[in-house]
Structures are given as structure tokens and as C-alpha cells.
Structure 1
């Protein structure tokens, strides 16, 4: 039986993380499992109170917020599993989840990473994800398959290749990480799992999704909708993703599209919504990409000023 390491990140959401840990204990029947929680620089260190409450969980404390990519990478380093199951702390497991994903990785050597179906926790009849289309390098856009659909079992038999796995829940082979590397730390949050998926695909592995494996996602509990923090990193990392992955001509077309279409459209929307401070945030996101190498680990002003 392959060993599975569940890795999750906590940042000032102690109750949410505890609900995840409790759901794992209540639903999991997979015997060879370890659980690792990375506290990503929470204001108050929760590890001392958690250690006696969850004696079978391994806790790691970072004194600084390393973001989604850095936090997961920190959790993977001491993991002993053959497979790493990276899950958002604002998720809850369903019965048989781990076993269903392991079964595919055990029997399909071409599969390097797999996600379950994600459904919204606030209404468990609504789908969030059963796959992604490939990113269009000209616009840096793609689509989540099934998002917003009523779950009537239409994807229960879905099993196969997808463009990318979902950062909310993805099980990856250790050998995949050894060949493709871990997530790029400089994304911090947003686009990091899609960038990772590009490298996994290019390293010769496939990304799959299994529709009858389910995880419940408490969407938007980590970062508020339309927050300055989110706005900065969504724009900054959209450009950074293209710099990392697109061929030169397609990247050039994207830059023209972004400057002539995205920037004016966003500014008009900011003005309509009276979010005038977002205008400078957008330009700072663009400026970061102009002034930093694509491998730069310098995140910019916003981590300290907005987060």
C-alpha cells in the first residue's frame, strides 16, 4: 500500500483547519496516511494548542507567510509519502476520497497528478470543478469544466485527462515532483498550480480528474473577493504565467492584448465600482513584471502593505 501525505496550509483560520482535520478523521479509511499542517505565519501560533489535540498530525510552523506555493513546498519537504495530497484548509473530505485517487495513480503510470470533483460546501449540489481546459497563451484564459452546474451525477463516470488539476485538491506522485520540480515560490498565490501543471505536462505526465471522488470546498474563505491583495496577484501572476510558459510570439501577442484590452477594461470597471485604489495596484502588478526577472523571488510591496 502506497503511503499518502496530506498537506494543508493554515493562515489565521484555526477553526476552518480544525474542521478539515476532523473531516479527515471522520471519513478516511485509507490506512497508510500521514497528515501535515503548515502554519503559514499566523498572527497567533496555533501549533501548541493543536499538538495535544491532534497527536497523529505533523505540524510545521513558518514564522512568515510563504503563500500557497511556498507553504505547500515547505510541507512536502518532510513528507514521507509516495503520493502527496495537497488540499486547501477550507475543504472537507468525503468517504473514500483518498482511496479513489490512489487507485488511479497506482494503476496508471502515465498519470502524474489527479484531482477529485470539487463541489461548493455552502451548497453541496453545486459543482465548482471537474476539470480545466488548457490556458490560451494569447489571452491567458481558460475555463473550469462543470463550474456552477447542478450536480445530478452527470460527471460520476468521468475519469480521464484534464488540462490542469485544481489547487484546492490535487494528489501528485513523489516521482512527478522529482522530475517536474515543486511549485514556483514566486507566484505566492494564484496561477501557481496552473504553472506547475504546465511543467508537469511538459515533463511527460498527464493530469487527470475523477468525477466520483468528491471534496467539499468552502470557496472564498482564504482571500476575500475583489480584495486589493487578490487583484494585485491575479494581474501580476497572469503576466508571470505567460513569461514562464508561452513561446515568444504568443507572449508578445498577450502583452499587446493585456495593455490594449485588459488594462483599459479593468480601469473602467474600477471607476464604475469606485475602487480607485485598484488602479495603482494594477499598474504595480504590471511594473513588477517589467522590473523583475521571471525567476525573481521578490514579491513586491503588496505582501506587507495589503495582506
Structure 2
């Protein structure tokens, strides 16, 4: 056996699918084996592997054992001369494996190598080559000196910025996304250190290879796409803590006591600084818009109340101060809550979400106002004037922010102008996926994946793609990977990398189109379930329904003991739903329960009882529920099930 490939997967099903397609293309003429170790994914990854890639040696873990343990599980079973540890959110070129094998055979002192990595926008990823994170190297990176002096041999040593990214070099540290290792080296130095749960194991392994008198190489003659940010969310507090914990473990293991203490001091400082900034950033992102809204409404009322008093009563301070100080904050809270329920604080949000929120909030305020005693009634005119000001101010803020932050309100985003590179049959399938994904796009035309036009529907050939993109103002290119090689996809991404174009790849026979528009952001998926039950609004509405029904049942439980045949059932489940262990309405349980479906809690009641057509498969019913989710559907099913228990 020439090559053994190990891929550790955790909840990135569609990226894993694309990765495996590219792996088998690259290994077509190589004697190889592929292991996928799944760390208890809940997105149907294992089912997908079994169905689409029966030759894969799949190891299914019942819990997330971490990156090191999972890799070691497979490494203990491999029989290849070389081992490749590969991330699931990657795409390799067709000649990647053969070139790596040839290089290793020509360089007997090479213990391992990595290749040139680009992100989903076609941009070079600096972590393709790294230096040893000594205390000073880490200090320069943590405090931004590496970014200020990206080509400095001293300050930019973390990413070896002084080394040409297009030339082969001996390096110190390989990235965990692609580690091509000689098996005899692993036999000599041992497997991955399982003390590292996630992060740091690549640094530790690379350093141990160097200490065993082997060389680590950066080899840019072949390239891969790495959708950085998929398997992990690098802006989270959890990432900060896990990463720096791994760095401390590395220092304790490999540095002298004096050097380790210095390193740990730098790391502890970085942990607290980064964790504080991460918490601050997260809080600021969540509350800045409500605070701005509340501030604008308060400012508005400071003018509205005295102006109305002067107009209506020809005097100021006509309303009791205590009444004003109680009622105005109450109005503001109701409007803010109504805005939240209507998605005015979601990202992205609809253009007129805040208008809708204020409208419903005003209706509620007027309804409550009509029920209040006369001495508690304030002024309907002030409520109406306040609501008009609230709409104008909050809507104006969103328009202003949306001009600068296109991700806040999709309305302000430039419409997708798509070009598809592929054959007509694949282009038709891609367009169908786009249509089912509710993407607002304009199809510009089809580009031949070859150097000649082979069909009358193709407007240009692959060599004309730069000019085609420029002339037609194309801002997104979708490559059909069954019609064009990964090598050609990467080549064209690099050619267009400065044009501001986004890229997607449509794997063959898949329901997804995959891409990434930012080095630090999660990848993008176009799938039929994009705007369904997994949307922010749907999740919020479903949870609020669960809470409301549970509280109602708990408050009225004496009545249920009289009218229901299963009061204990309702009571116990109301408590479970209240604490988030269950949801009132869930998927039908099947042998393949979560294949491709967004995750929700187990349901107290299942969908099947609401299905009149028994010819439908359970999976079809689940899919339809997820795709067309509505709170009305949940209420309907819930009503029928509760009625049947009385």
C-alpha cells in the first residue's frame, strides 16, 4: 500500500463529501486507502459516507474524542508507506498525491511535507508554512507585530513571511489541515500526543519530527483549497481557551523550565486579553443595535412629549412626571421586544423588519392602553407620534448601517450575478439547486470547462473567463467539479483572485454548492434547506412556542388532571420542554434520522400523526417539515395531539 489518508470529521457533511470526491480523483492511479473517523457528528455524515463512498474505512465514534485520538484510531490500522492527515474542509488537486509521493521518494531525509493552501476566495493562506512558536515568535504574533511587518525574518517568523510562498523550503511546523508523513517516521517518534484535544497537536508532531533528525518541507508545486473556519469557529472564547491551553501544554513538554515559564507568561497574558476582547466583541455585537434604538426613541420622546403638551395644553409639564417616567420606558420595552420577535436584531435581517416590529408593538400598546384605568392613561397621540418617530429613526439607522455593512440587510447587497463553468446538464442541476435554495441571483451564462465551446448554450471557454467576468460584471463563479478538474478550478481561482469574485464548487450528484468568502468566516452552503427550520427566526419562534405551551400547561395543570387521560405525560414533558431537553413537535424517528436535516430536539409529538398520505416516506415528511417550517404547522399538530389525549 502506497498511501493511507486519514480524515477526521465533525459535523461538516457537505465539505467532507466534496473533499472525498477530490481525494478519489487524486488517488485514481495510486494504491491507497481512505479512513474517515467521525467524532459523533449529528448531521448525517456517516450515512453519506456509507451511501456515496462504500470503499471508505469508516470509524464511528459515539462521542467527540478530539483530533489527536481520532487520528490515532485510524493510524493504528493503516498499511500505507505514507500517511496523509487531511482536514475535511479541503479540496486537493488531481496530482497532489502523486507529486507528494515523488517528492518524498526523492528526498529520503524528508519526514513530512505540506503544500500551498488557498482559501475559498483564491487567496494564499499564510499558515501553509510556519515557524516554531517560541516565546518571542509568539509574542510578535499575539501583539500584532507579525501583521505590521509581514516580510520580516524576525517579526513574521510565525508564518515564515520572509520565505517565498511559491518556492520549496525547509520549514519547522506543518499545518494540521495537510500533513503528509512518512510512516516509518511515525513508527519511530510515535503517534499524535493525545493530551492535545484540539489545536497544538500539529506543532507537537512537527517538532518531534525535527528532533528525530528529519526535515519538514513546504512544497508549493501542488495546491489545495482549505475552507478555513469550517470545523472550528476561531472567533469564539472556546477556541481561544483551547488554543492557548494547547500552547501551554506544548511549552511544558518541549521547552526548558525557564523558557517554558516565559512562554506561559506570554500565553496567560494573551488568554486573558483575547478572552476579554472576545466577550466584549460578542456582547457589543448583540446589544449595540437595541441600545442605539432605545437611545433614539428616548431622544424622540424628549421632544415629542413637551411639544405635544405645548400644542394640546399650551403649557409644559402637563402630564405627571411619575406617569411619564413609567409609561415611556414601558412603550420602549414593548417596541424593542416586538422588534426582536420580528427579527429586527437578527443578522441578516429583512429591510422592513423594524417597521413590522414597531407596528405590532404599537397595536399591543394601544390594546393595553384601552384596558387601563383612566388615571393611568397617558396620551394616544403621544403613542402614535412616538411610534412614527420610532419607525423613522430605527429604520433610518438600519438603512445607514446597511449601506456600509452589506451583511446586515441583504437588500443592500449586490445581487449575485452567476457564471457557471461546466456542461449544460450540470449547469441545469446547479440552477435547480440555486432556485430551491431561495438565492437572489441572476444567471449570466455558461462557460465551457474546456478550451473550446462545445455547446451553443456556452458563451465563452475557460481561457476567456477573465474577460467574461469583467465584461458581464460577474461577481460569483460556480465550478461544476464533475466537468472540470480541481487543478483547473484552483488555477482559475488564483487568476481571478484580485477581481473580487466569489467562488462556489458544485460536487457531482450532491444537493449542495460549497464556497467561502472570507478567510475567517465559515464557508457558505447553498442547499434546499438554507432558509428553513434552521433560520434564526424559525429557531426563535419554535423555542418561544415551546416555552409558551409549557408554561401554559404548568399553570393550568389542575385542569389537565380533570380533562386529560394523560396528565402525568403532559406534566413531565412540559418540564422537559421548558428546560430545553425536548421540543413539542419533532421529526419522525427513522433508521437514518438526521441525514441532511438541521438538528432539533427530540419531539414529544411526531409529524406522522399529522400526515394524511401514508404513501409518503418518513424521510420525505421530515424533509418537507424542515424545508417549509411554520409555527402554524407546530400549533396544528400540537392541537390535534393534545385534543386526542382529552
Q: Tell me the equivalent position of 2:159.
A: 144
| Change in CA separation of 1:162 and 1:265 when aligned onto 2, cut-off 3 Å | same
Q: Which residue of 2 aligns with 1:161?
A: 170
- Is the Cα–Cα contact under 8 Å of residues 200 and 206 in structure 1 kept in the other structure? yes
Q: Find out whether 1:50 has 2:49 as its counterpart.
A: yes
Partner of 1:246: 255
TM-score (norm 2): 0.39
Distance 1:139 1:145, change over 3 A: closer
Contact residue 109 and residue 215 of structure 2 kept, 8 A? yes
Q: In the alignment, which residue of structure 2 is the partner of 1:286?
A: none
Any idea what the Cα deviations from partners look like across 1:134-163, whole Å, max 9, x if unmatched?
A: 22145646522469xxxxxx644x223101
Determine the C-alpha separation between the residues in 2 that align with 1:193 and 1:12.
21
CA 1:45–1:125 in 2, change beyond 3 Å: closer, same or farther? closer
Could you tell me which residue of structure 1 aligns to residue 124 of structure 2? 126
Query: For the residues of structure 1 that align with 2:43 and 2:79, how far apart are their CA atoms?
Result: 28
Summarize deviations over 1:90-111 as a string: whole Å, max 9, x none.
0011120001111121121211
What is the match of residue 295 of structure 1?
none
- Counterparts of 2:20 and 2:276, CA distance in 1: 43
Equivalent position of 1:194 in the other structure: 203
Deviation at 1:199, TM superposition (A): 1.1
Indicate the structure (1 or 2) with the bigger Cα radius of gyration.
Answer: 2
Instruction: From the two aligned structures, give the one with the greater strand fraction.
Output: 1
Query: Is the 1:155–1:212 Cα contact (8 Å) retained in structure 2?
Result: no
Matches within 5 A, 1:1-307: 3-43=2-42, 46-120=45-119, 122-138=120-136, 140=138, 143-145=158-160, 155-156=165-166, 158-259=167-268, 261-263=269-271, 265-266=273-274, 269-270=277-278, 272-273=280-281
Name the SS for the 1:186 alignment partner: coil
1:237-293 Cα deviation digits (max 9, x unpaired): 12111111111121122233344x4355336524642559xxxxxxxxxxxxxxxxx
Equivalent pair of 1:191/1:241 in contact (CA under 8 Å) = yes
RMSD: 2.5
Instruction: Classify 1:54/1:262 alpha carbon distance in 2 versus 1 (closer, same or farther; 3 Å).
Output: closer
Distance 1:56 1:268 in 2: 47
Q: For residues 169-198 of structure 1, what are the alpha-carbon distances to aligned partners after superposition, in whole Å with 9 as ceiling and x for unaligned?
A: 011011110111111112111111001111
Measured in 1, the distance between the counterparts of 2:43 and 2:32 equals: 28
Cα pair distance change 1:215/1:30, threshold 3 Å: farther
Distance 1:275 1:181, change over 3 A: farther
2:6 and 2:36 in contact (8 A); partners too: yes
Question: 1: CA distance between counterparts of 2:79 and 2:279?
Answer: 50
Q: Give aligned pairs, total.
A: 267
Contact 1:119–1:129 at 8 Å: present in 2 too? no
CA distance in 1, matches of 2:137, 2:128: 22
**Aligned mates of 2:62, 2:226 — CA distance in 1:** 27
Partner of 1:280: none
User: Which stretch of structure 1 is more off in the superposition, 55-64 or 80-89?
Assistant: 55-64
Matches of 1:93 and 1:247 in 2, distance apart?
A: 39
Could you say what secondary structure the match of 1:59 adopts?
A: strand
Instruction: Measure how far apart 1:229 and its partner are.
Output: 2.2
Q: Say which structure, 1 or 2, has more relative contact order (CA 8 Å, 6+ apart).
A: 1
Assess if the C-alpha contact under 8 Å between 1:69 and 1:183 holds in 2: yes
